[in-house]
């Protein structure tokens, strides 16, 4: 099992977000998490991304404990959050260089150019990201994923602000990851786009997580 959560509970001060969530996500699976606003989807992702400490319970990612072995967990994961994590005064290429350097990776200029082309930002490599649109920032975040090749990808509302081409790139990256036995966990409201790639979906409702499989899951089982 690649991601294991055991009785995860998170409350913000006095507000209980979710309670006693236990689940497992195997390698090679894309898992889509649905739920109404405020159901705690993003908080769950932030717990898995080691950004927020759960109030109680434990989880492990690729057999590394998420609370005590943060460094290997952080090396394995990549989290594309609501914010783009970009520095407005750096250009696209410099942003990528810095983001990779913080993961201990140092891509060559050629690699950078190649992956910017892959997300259709080749023409904007030297442009300050201050002038980027929300969709372009999303694409640049996808470029980070292509460069970093993480084993676990956490996506918070990945389809927001993306045009059709962007959605295609996103889904391509997701398929590519699951083929390599990587894991993708995403939260979204867009069932239609998510079910194109997800093997399993979950609904977070009143702090309870219920699972159901999708059409892709059979293909997944055969694979």
Partner 1 sequence: MMNRFIRRIQRFKGWIGAAAALCIFYGLYLGLLDSPPDYYQGEVVRIMYVHVPLAHTALLAYGTLFVGSLWYLWKRDVLVDNMCHAAAGITAAFTILALITGAIWAKPTWNTWWTWDPKLVSFAVLLLIASGYLMLRTFVEDPDKEGRYAAVMAIVGGIDLPIIYFSAEWWRTLHQPLSISMRGVSMSGDILLPLAIMSLGLNLLFIYMLMIRTQMLYLTNLLEAKKGRLLSHAHLSHTSS
Partner 2 sequence: MPFFRVIQWVVWKDLISELRSRETLSSMLFFALIVILVFSFSFAMDQDAAQQLIAGIIWVSFVFTGIIGLGKSFSAELQNDAIEYLQMSPAPKGAIYLGKMIGNLLFMLVVEIMLFPLFVLFFNLDIVEEIGLLLLIFFLATLGLSAVGTLFSALTVQIRAREVMLPVLLLPLAVPVMIAAVEATRGALEGQPLVIYSQWIELLTIFDIIFTVVSFWLFDLILDS
Give the residues lining the site for partner 2 (CB under 8 A): 49-53, 70-72, 74-75, 77, 79, 81-90, 94, 98-99, 101-104, 128, 137
Joined tokens for residue 105: 């990776």
Query: C-beta of 192: minimal distance to partner 1 in Å?
Result: 22
Q: CA nearest 75: which of 25, 145, 2, 150?
A: 150
Identify the residue whose tokens are 């867009």: 190
Among 69, 75, 205, 217, binds partner 1 (CB under 8 A): 205
Q: Nearest to residue 185, comparing CAs of 136, 152, 140?
A: 152
Q: Which of 15, 82, 104, 164 binds partner 1 (CB under 8 A)?
A: 15
Q: Is 6 in the site for partner 1 (CB under 8 A)?
A: no
By CB under 8 A, is residue 38 in contact with partner 1?
yes
- Judging by DSSP bridges, how do beta strands 200-205 and 183-187 pair with one another? unpaired
- Which part of the chain contacts partner 1 (CB under 8 A), choosing from 13-21, 25-33, 63-71, 94-102? 13-21
Nearer to partner 1, 43 or 188 (CB): 43
Report how far residue 116's alpha carbon sits from residue 118's, in angstroms, rounded to the nearest whole number: 5
| 133 counts as binding partner 1 under rule CB under 8 A | no
d(C-alpha 98, C-alpha 121), whole Å = 17
């Amino acid at each position: 099992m690649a991601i294991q959560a055991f009785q995860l509970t998170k409350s913000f001060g006095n507000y209980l977000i979710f309670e006693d969530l236990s689940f497992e996500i195997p390698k090679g699976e894309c898992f889509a998490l649905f739920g109404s606003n405020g159901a705690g989807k993003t908080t769950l992702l932030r717990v898995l991304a080691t950004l927020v400490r759960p109030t109680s319970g434990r989880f492990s990612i690729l057999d590394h404990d998420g609370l005590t072995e943060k460094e290997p967990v952080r090396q394995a994961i990549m989290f594309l959050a609501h914010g783009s994590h970009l520095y407005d005064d750096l250009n696209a290429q410099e942003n990528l260089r810095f983001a990779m350097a913080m993961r201990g990776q140092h891509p060559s200029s050629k690699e950078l150019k190649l992956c910017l082309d892959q997300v259709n930002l080749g023409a904007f490599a030297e442009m300050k990201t201050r002038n980027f649109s929300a969709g372009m920032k999303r694409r640049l975040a996808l470029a980070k994923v292509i460069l970093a090749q993480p084993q676990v990808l956490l996506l918070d509302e990945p389809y927001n602000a993306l045009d059709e081409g962007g959605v295609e790139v996103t889904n391509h990256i997701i398929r590519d990851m699951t083929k390599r036995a990587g894991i993708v966990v995403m939260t979204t409201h867009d069932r239609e786009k998510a079910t194109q790639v997800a093997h399993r979906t979950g609904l977070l409702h009143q702090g309870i997580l219920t699972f159901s499989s999708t059409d892709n899951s059979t293909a997944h089982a055969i694979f």
